[in-house]
């Protein structure tokens, strides 16, 4: 084997960091314990609230989540009446998603707490380092779309 070291491998480092940040948000907001939401359900609820009536395909493009994960989260959220599905007026095959009043209420509570967790995490970086991190992540996402 060549000099491959898992701990130094960028995809591994990003995955470990992402998992740690997700745990910090889950613990800091209580979306799991307080509202019974999984991480995927919270991401879908947040994306639906932010996007303004997206379809499930649009959610996949916006979040990078796979179709099955989105489908399960949407089913759970509609079952709990946190989001609604409505047929698109122009394309009757497409279902549009929107938060219910209860979904928006939960979103607003969790989102404000998530912003506080984000601020706490970003406080460990200088303003310049936080900006470099954001730019680097955007560049990496773009690079992943290239062949």
Considering only CA atoms, which of 107, 121, 51 is closest in space to residue 77? 107
| Residue range(s) defining the domain that contains residue 36 | 9-144
Q: How many other C-beta atoms are found inside a 10 Å radius of the C-beta of residue 41? A: 23
CATH number for position 107: 1.10.10.10
Query: In the prediction, which pLDDT does 71 show?
Result: 95
Query: In the prediction, which pLDDT does 7 show?
Result: 94
> pLDDT tens-digit profile of 28-61?
999 999 999 999 999 999 999 999 899 999 999 8
Q: What is the mean pLDDT of the chain?
A: 94
Burial 128-139 (b: 16+ CB within 10 A, else e): eeeeeeeeeeee
Query: In the prediction, which pLDDT does 1 show?
Result: 58
pLDDT band at 2 (very low <50, low <70, confident <90, very high): confident
**pLDDT > 70 in the chain, percent:** 99
| Residue 29, beta-bridge partner list | none
144: which residues sit within 8 A by CB, 6+ positions away? none
98 DSSP assignment: E
Burial 44-69 (b: 16+ CB within 10 A, else e): bbbbbbebeebbbebbbeebebeeeb
What is the average per-residue pLDDT within 8-14? 96
Given a contact cutoff of 8 angstroms between Cβ atoms, the answer to whether 77 and 41 are in contact is: yes
**Structural domain includes residue 88:** yes
Q: How many other C-beta atoms are found inside a 10 Å radius of the C-beta of residue 71? A: 15
- For residues 108 and 24, what is the distance between their CA atoms, to the nearest angstrom? 18
Q: How many domains does the chain have?
A: 1
95 DSSP assignment: E
Query: In the prediction, which pLDDT does 147 show?
Result: 79
Token pair recorded at residue 100: 């219910």
**Structural domain includes residue 2:** no
Query: In the prediction, which pLDDT does 28 show?
Result: 94
**Structural domain includes residue 72:** yes
**Structural domain includes residue 3:** no
> pLDDT tens-digit profile of 63-89?
889 999 999 999 999 999 999 999 888
């Amino acid at each position: 084997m060549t000099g491959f070291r898992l701990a130094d491998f960028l995809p591994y480092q990003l995955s470990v960091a992402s998992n740690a940040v997700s745990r910090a948000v889950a613990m800091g907001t209580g979306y799991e314990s307080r509202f019974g939401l999984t991480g995927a359900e919270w991401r879908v609820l947040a994306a639906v609230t932010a996007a303004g009536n997206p379809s499930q395909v649009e959610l996949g493009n916006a979040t990078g989540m796979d179709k099955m994960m989105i489908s399960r989260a949407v089913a759970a959220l509609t079952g709990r009446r946190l989001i609604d599905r409505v047929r698109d007026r122009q394309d009757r095959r497409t279902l549009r998603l929107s938060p219910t009043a209860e979904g928006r209420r939960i979103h607003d509570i969790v989102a404000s707490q998530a912003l506080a967790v984000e601020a706490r995490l970003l406080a460990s970086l200088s303003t310049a380092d936080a900006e470099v991190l954001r730019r680097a992540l955007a560049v990496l996402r773009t690079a992943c779309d290239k062949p």
